[in-house]
Chain A
Amino acid sequence: MSLPPDTVGRRRAEQAATPSGAGGDGAARGRGPRRRRRRGASWRQRFDRTLLPPLLLAPALLIIFGLVGYPVLRTFWLSFHDAGLAAMVSGDMEFVGIDNYVTILTDAHYRRVFLVTAVFGLACVVGTMVLGIGVALLLNQPFKGRFVLGVLVLLPWAMPRVAAATIWRWMFHDQYGVVNWLFTTFGFSNFEGFAWFVSPLRAFTAIGVVVVWQSFPFVALSVLAALQSIPQDVVEAARLDGATATQRLRHITLPMIKPVLVVMVIISTIWNFKVFDQVFVMTEGGPARSTEVLSIATWREAFTRLDFGLASALAIAMFLILTVVTIVYVRVIRDDEELT
């Protein structure tokens, strides 16, 4: 489920980390005019220029459409139908218009689901970014044991999410968990038998810790890569001009790594809004459905209630929300670019 965004993220991070290398279209633009100098191009050249690229791209586009486009369109189509499992099998689905969307917008439970997802997702994004940037700035300093720390930071990310969540669930166990033990050892005696999963606030705190713990390493490493690509002469020059550390951070470091930061915010927004494994393993949406985030609700509709129509509507809702959020982010960075 998460693989595509992961690879996408890595690719983007790599691109962002090499600001000196001109991107593909920049290089092409440079070479273009030179080619065009020879007037009256032959048939072969015209073929190369106009028909060959789409032909070469076609197989990839077809595969992408099959893997990505078809499911999305099918989900969209399903969301307008009363699609129970039996109906799906027989292919005999009733068109219900926007009924499913009306349900998810008017039902009190789903309104709550959207609200919790937004608040929880946002909190996780903030947590991930703050911790990620903090650790990246730390790792960017030369100090002993930096390599070891870097490896340690990577570990949570390398761990399968379900395994991590299972372990953390035990660590948060009210009676035998190491978390309560640690707190009580350090003198917080009201954590004796503290029940982490009895209220939504407490449960979300526990889940949020796990989510952030597992998603900050990626941010930290990407930001670190960006930090290390900042040309040292610029920093040196600023230092010579008397810029303080804070000023250098504000006026040089942050602007230069901003593209990476924005990508990280987008990626962690997408991850944290559709977080599933950790919630599923730790609370399965409980107690009393209070930690049911959008992805869990979608799963519940599809796989236990077997209402694929409603589940599809929820999935499309998530898709739309994330699209809007991403567009807003992209606009923010574009407007900023025009200013600077």
Chain B
Amino acid sequence: MRTRSWLAGTAAVALLATACGGGGDDTASADGGAEGGAENASGDAGPQTLSVWIMEPGNDEVERIVRDSAEQFEAENEGVTVELEFVPWASAHDQFVTAVGGGQVPDVAEMGTTWTAEFAQLGLAPVEADADADYVASLVEAGTVEGTSYGYPWYAGARALIYRADVFEEHGLEVPETWDELLDVAETIEAETDLAPIHVAGNYNHMLLPMVWQAGGEIATQEGEAWNATLDSQEGREAFGFYADLWERGWTPEGAVSWNSADVRTAFANEESAMMVGGGWDLGALLADNPELEGRVGTALLPEGPGGSRDTFAGGSHLVVFEEAENPDLAVQFVEFMLQDEQVSAFAEAVGFLPGTESGVAASSAATDPLYEPFTTQLVEHSRSYPASPNWGTVEGDAVFVNAMQQVMTGDLTVDEAVEQANQQLDDTLNR
């Protein structure tokens, strides 16, 4: 009897704990960490606090640069305290959701460009027009919902082609300018070396999706309020087909169904492949970890697809100001401070990205380094952003494209079936 009663009792408690572990999270942990400005925000008098969330770069150097900037801002604005909080990328989206749900948002935050549209409707302040701002166009586009932009472009990166210059030289190969040339070059590499020509990964949206643009298609187009998913266009099918073809040639190991961009980079760094699609940060990391590759790696713009385009995805971050910010003026002031050329280029360089302003890009060292120059050109001239729909976060969370491609790779779906499935899901989600 005794056993039974405590058994039942403790079991019940454990169960209740279970329940709040599941769905209760939204309310239970709503404090998310934002403390908000405690002080009276009106006017300039007295001490003021600015809470700022920055993505945790996983790199002490970058963190130090951000802290230095914040301290400098504090020094320039007497009485202002900047409360910095570093949020890991992996849990950042959850934290923003929790913060918004619990009404405990920071004043200023760094936000992945593809999330800005989603959170715009949930309480971001519109960007205050600045005549001097020369933001990179694709980054502005990413944060613009119905004509109003909500994200200040901070830094960005675009992927380009990274290849083994030594291998290309040894076999007298030209850097591929088009998809067809890519396949030609690949066949030679396949025949004459023991390297795989190029690796594709199942979990790598940013290599797969831009191919739709390169083929001359669109991911989705907007007509008034509604979105029209267009992956199942001829061009969309061609893009998915090309990606699947690179896979079906068997150059990439079977396990790459679940690989992401980091795995592709690792394989390249281990001298297993001759070409990869990656960003400046990938190049920086692989040279830092594998000094023996120094001088043997080249970079180029992505090959043109049949649509005559080399477009790639401009990934990066916005700085955003929340509508509920305690002191909006101060918040905007801070953002503008962070976006000055010297602040932004120091930061962008340290993360291996490029500044979100064209003057910042021009001022960055990457613009003059031949190895990094293609990433600059790719960003400024050949980059785009994904549809700026408030529902894009859901599309990414549902891994719509990844799922479709993985099913093609495992042989569960044909390219056509996968494209139709992805298109249907995309259309449903964007218009829900």
A323 close to chain B: CB less than 8 A: yes
B8 close to chain A: CB less than 8 A: yes
Query: Contact at B24–A72, with CB atoms within 8 Å?
Result: yes
Which residue of A is nearest B410, CB measured?
A: A198
B307 close to chain A: CB less than 8 A: no
A288's partner among B2, B101, B254, B410 (CB-CB below 8 A) is B410
A306's partner among B2, B103, B253, B394 (CB-CB below 8 A) is B394
Provide the residues of chain A in CB contact with B38, threshold 8 Å. none
Provide the residues of chain A in CB contact with B17, threshold 8 Å. 4-5, 8, 68
Most chain A CB within a 10 A radius of its CB, from B7, B256, B396, B402? B7
Supposing A88-B101, A263-B7, A288-B403 touch, asked if A316 and B258 sit within 8 A by C-beta, the answer is: no
Query: Contact at B18–A319, with CB atoms within 8 Å?
Result: yes
Query: Contact at B258–A195, with CB atoms within 8 Å?
Result: yes
B203's partner among A199, A286, A315 (CB-CB below 8 A) is A286
Supposing A71-B27, A74-B27, A315-B23 touch, asked if A303 and B2 sit within 8 A by C-beta, the answer is: no
**Which of B92-100, B218-226, B380-388 binds A?**
B92-100
Which residue of A is nearest B28, CB measured?
A: A71
Task: Return A338 CB to nearest CB of chain B, in Å.
Answer: 10
Query: Contact at B410–A287, with CB atoms within 8 Å?
Result: yes
Supposing A304-B398, A315-B24 touch, asked if A288 and B406 sit within 8 A by C-beta, the answer is: yes
Query: Contact at A319–B22, with CB atoms within 8 Å?
Result: yes
- Residue interface mask B325-366, A partner, CB < 8 A = 1: 000000000000000000000000000000000000000000
A318 close to chain B: CB less than 8 A: yes
Query: Contact at A305–B398, with CB atoms within 8 Å?
Result: yes
B4 close to chain A: CB less than 8 A: yes
Query: Contact at B257–A270, with CB atoms within 8 Å?
Result: no
Task: Return A225 CB to nearest CB of chain B, in Å.
Answer: 16
B59 close to chain A: CB less than 8 A: no
Query: Contact at B397–A305, with CB atoms within 8 Å?
Result: yes
Provide the residues of chain B in CB contact with A312, threshold 8 Å. 23
Q: In the complex, A330→B6 CA distance in Å? A: 11
Most chain B CB within a 10 A radius of its CB, from A12, A288, A300? A288
Query: Contact at B11–A286, with CB atoms within 8 Å?
Result: no
Provide the residues of chain A in CB contact with B121, threshold 8 Å. 86
Q: In the complex, A67→B121 CA distance in Å? A: 31
A249-280: which have CB < 8 Å to B? 259, 262-263, 266-267, 270, 274
Query: Contact at A302–B23, with CB atoms within 8 Å?
Result: yes
Residues on B facing A (Cβ under 8 Å): 2-8, 10-28, 93-94, 97, 100-101, 103, 121-123, 202-203, 253-258, 263, 266-267, 270, 272, 393-394, 396-399, 402-404, 406-407, 409-410, 412
List the 7 closest pairs (A to B, CB-CB), nearest first.
A304-B397, A174-B255, A315-B23, A71-B24, A195-B255, A315-B22, A4-B17
A to B CB contacts below 8 Å, 23 in the list: A4-B17, A8-B17, A69-B16, A74-B27, A88-B101, A173-B255, A174-B254, A174-B256, A175-B255, A193-B253, A195-B254, A199-B410, A270-B14, A274-B22, A286-B399, A287-B257, A304-B393, A305-B394, A308-B23, A319-B22, A326-B12, A330-B4, A333-B4
